[in-house]
Structure 1
Amino acid sequence: MRRLSLSSRLALLFAACTAVVSLFAGVLFSRASEAHFVELDQQLLDGKLIGVRRALQDLHSSTSETRLADELSRQADLSLRITGSDGQRRYESSTQLPQALPRQPGLSTVSHEGTAYRVLNAPLYPDQANSPQLTLLLDITHHQHFLQRMQRLIWLTVGLSALATALLGAWAARSGLRPLRRMSTIASGVSAQSLSSRLPEENMPPELAEMAHSFNAMLGRLDDSFQRLSAFSADIAHELRTPLSNLLTHTQVTLTRPRPIEDYREALHSNLEELQWMAQLVNDMLYLAKADHGLLVPTRQSLELAEEADLLLEFFAPLAEDTRVTLGREGHGRIEGDRSMLRRALSNLLDNALRFTPVDGQVRLRIAEQPKQLSIIVENSGEGVSAQLLPRLFDRFYRADPARHEGSSEHAGLGLAITQSIVRAHGGQIRCESDNGWTRFVIELPRGD
């Protein structure tokens, strides 16, 4: 069975609500009208009861019947039955009255042969115990016909109002859901070649503005991810093209003619360097792929970061001496983390700092403990990084130096991306700041204690 559209559901809901409200209001009006008629009949019969009692002050008087007939003639739809204390009928103004009537005092309603009567029972002499009983009957058939016509009108009104509300509700729902149809149209046109379309948020109703904003944000993330994926594929091809070309050219040149064994050995050593660099590049790419899929799960062990930092600074000390760069460490702190992963991240940052620190410059590693997190700052003096380049430093294969060293066996532009993946795997974040002649990478890691 085909599901109803949202517009149809809203239209039916509007119609049902309108029908229920109209029916409820109609029933209340009908009950109020009926109660009003009962009140009017009660007042009329009470007034006639007084007149009948006045006309029958002396039931055995010769003029009482004349006065009674005169009183009844003033209300054509009024009838009277007088019953003695022994239950025998002494007077009946009409021969078409019902034989069996209620005997309890007060007002009641009966029907007989299609005619409805309002019946009032009362004693002729209220102060006498064996007083004859008066039964006044008021023909209310015209009241009943009015109420029946009103009930039919109520049902007709309910039906017409429900139909009108359904039609108007369908129109209103279609008009109100027009932004959703525009959203569907834009979504159907989204493809890898067209991710720039956006919903006009300023024209959206408040209920859909947040959805439109989320939809546009999703398209923005898809566009950014696709651009990064395209750039990543191009960078991979760019990085592998030069070493593969070198391998092919070197091998072809070596095989053009017979050579001494030393020449072949030298060619193999040269090829081995290129292959090792390519193997390292592939390993780094696999490492980042694991991080992207949440497979980079660090082990947790208690680490004294000051000790780890001192070991890394000792390792980089010979390279710093060659360029007369001063290495230093400040602060200490303990954290739960993966030793090898954190060493790799700090090693990438120190290597990056040494490469961009001028002669006689400084590289400092600072550790700062805070109540809920621990900060590791690696900073170096020298020419800073422009604000436009800071957001891209952690992109894969990105080099701040515009001169791209194609096929470089030292740096492929993946070190900072790997560092970011390691920090995120530990639940932290990393950012780069550059001002006043200093460039610093700030790592913030949550503390487990």
Structure 2
Amino acid sequence: MKIRTSLTLKNTAATAAVFLICLTAIYLVSEHTRSKTFFHTLESEAITKAHLFLQNQVDARIMQEIHLNNRNFIDEVEVAVYTTGFRMLYHDAVQNDIIKEDSAMISRILQDRSIEFYVGDYQGIGMLYAFDGDNYIVTAAAYDRYGHDNLAKMRTTLGILFIIGVFLLFVTGYLLARAALQPIRGIVREAGAVTASHIDRRLPVKNAKDELGELALAFNALLSRLETSFNAQKTFVSNVSHELRTPLAALIAELDLALQKERNEEEYRKAIHHALQDAARMTKLIDGLLNLAKADYRQEQIKMEAIRLDELLLDVRALLLRAHPDYRIELLFEREEDDDRMITVEGNLYLLTIAISNLIENNCKYSEDHTSCVHISYWDEWAILRFSDSGSGMSEEELHNLFTLFYRGEQESMAEGHGIGMALAQKIVQLHHGEIAAHSEPGQGTTFIVELPHI
């Protein structure tokens, strides 16, 4: 079921229920008013006839004849007069006797002085009537045909009004729902036009302050993020293809050259060595891409633990020196820590090892003496690491693009690289709610500053 139909039906049902309650209340109030009014009419008729019989002493047979004649045209009130000892003095129609008075009723009238009751569809009253120092009991009963006929007409009228009202409610609700949902149909059309080739399209926002405007803005923000992600993915695939093409082409050329003619053992060894170098470069590139993918995980998907940065730096230093004995890595504590927690962070050991390794290795690769000087300190809620080298430094353009994926600066001839390390380090630091920055000037070396929140 469409939202438009659902809203129309629900709105119609809710409003119809309220409408029905109101009409029912009107009918019940009318019925109550009719009943009370007719009881007053009975009381007036009872007093009038008792007055005629007792005070004016109108002959009982004349009054009975008038009552009998009137019954043929109107619903005449049947009145009876009794003494307090339950002796009947007058009755309009003994043979009819609607009320059928008994001693219990007489006792109630004597006790309450006035009562109202129903006898089937007939309404009746009983009351004490005082005349000439004596009390008399007067009863009266009749059927309110006029009142009930009016109520029947009211029921019919209210029923017709209810049916017409529900129909009008449905039609009005349908038209209003269609008008209210018209902008959504436009949003659906525009959203359907967004494809991979037209991901730059956006939904129109007519009123940013209403719910549909907020929905369109939220959807446009989602499209912007998707466009950024989509473009980044295209760039990533293009760069990966380019980066893999070079070592693959070199590997194929090397192997093809080796197969063109018979060679001696030394030449074969040399060809295999070059092929292994190309394969190692591809392996390193693929490892970097895998680590980059892991750094894109959400924090809740990564195992976190308390890590002491001084111990981590010692482990990374040992790891790098085993792989590169010519590297020199100096660790310096700028201030003695009063509490181990000042240099302890909540993080993932594997990812932080990669980030710190990349930063130290970057120092060593682009420094003529292959030296990296790492300073450890803390301030306020941050543990601070500074990675410095004595290399030739970087230009403004290189600093600006340093953390861009696959970017390689003007010094790439000094060391092999794929432009992944710095982008990966930045992602890992940001994943740990930290900050990373680089400071460099041509001829004065480069310093990386990493700030991580300590526990």
TM-score of the two chains, using structure 2 as the length reference = 0.74
Counterpart CA distance in 2 for 1:440 and 1:156 is: 87
Q: Spell out the pairing of 1:140-219 with structure 2 (5 A cutoff).
A: 140-203=144-207, 206-219=210-223
Do 2:53 and 2:59's aligned partners in 1 also have CA atoms closer than 8 Å? Answer: no
Q: 341, 346, 349: which one pairs with 2:359?
A: 349
Counterpart CA distance in 1 for 2:424 and 2:357 is: 11
Q: Alpha carbons of 1:126 and 1:14: their partners in 2 closer, same or farther (altered >3 Å)?
A: farther
Higher helix proportion: 2
Counterpart CA distance in 2 for 1:218 and 1:229 is: 16
Q: Spell out the pairing of 1:2-401 with structure 2 (5 A cutoff).
A: 4-58=1-55, 61=57, 78-85=76-83, 90-93=89-92, 97-101=96-100, 103=105, 105=109, 106-111=115-120, 117-125=122-130, 132-203=136-207, 206-292=210-296, 300=305, 302-305=307-310, 308=313, 312=317, 330-331=334-335, 333-335=343-345, 341-353=351-363, 365-371=375-381, 373-378=382-387, 382-383=393-394, 385=396, 390=400, 393-399=402-408, 401=409
- Cα distance, 1:89 vs. partner? 5.3
SS in 2 for 1:199: coil
SS in 1 for 2:199: coil
SS in 2 for 1:278: helix
1:414 aligns with 2:399: no
Q: What per-residue deviation string (whole Å, max 9, x for no partner) do you get for residues 256-310 of structure 1?
A: 4555544443333333322221221122223333444679956746424288279
SS in 1 for 2:54: coil
SS in 2 for 1:413: coil
Name which of structure 1's ranges 37-46 and 438-447 shifts more when overlaid on structure 2. Answer: 438-447
Q: Alpha carbons of 1:145 and 1:414: their partners in 2 closer, same or farther (altered >3 Å)?
A: same
- Cα distance, 1:238 vs. partner? 0.6
SS in 2 for 1:56: helix
Letter in 2 for 1:236: V
Do 1:380 and 1:439's aligned partners in 2 also have CA atoms closer than 8 Å? Answer: yes
Counterpart CA distance in 2 for 1:271 and 1:210 is: 58
Counterpart CA distance in 1 for 2:293 and 2:44 is: 100
TM-score of the two chains, using structure 1 as the length reference = 0.75
- Cα distance, 1:87 vs. partner? 5.6
- Cα distance, 1:353 vs. partner? 4.8
- Cα distance, 1:386 vs. partner? 5.4
Letter in 1 for 2:419: G
SS in 1 for 2:378: strand
Q: Alpha carbons of 1:358 and 1:50: their partners in 2 closer, same or farther (altered >3 Å)?
A: farther
- Cα distance, 1:101 vs. partner? 4.4
Do 1:19 and 1:159's aligned partners in 2 also have CA atoms closer than 8 Å? Answer: no
Do 2:306 and 2:347's aligned partners in 1 also have CA atoms closer than 8 Å? Answer: yes
Do 2:377 and 2:385's aligned partners in 1 also have CA atoms closer than 8 Å? Answer: yes
Counterpart CA distance in 2 for 1:280 and 1:62 is: 128
- Seq. identity, %: 24
- Cα distance, 1:227 vs. partner? 1.7
Letter in 2 for 1:445: L
- Cα distance, 1:144 vs. partner? 0.8
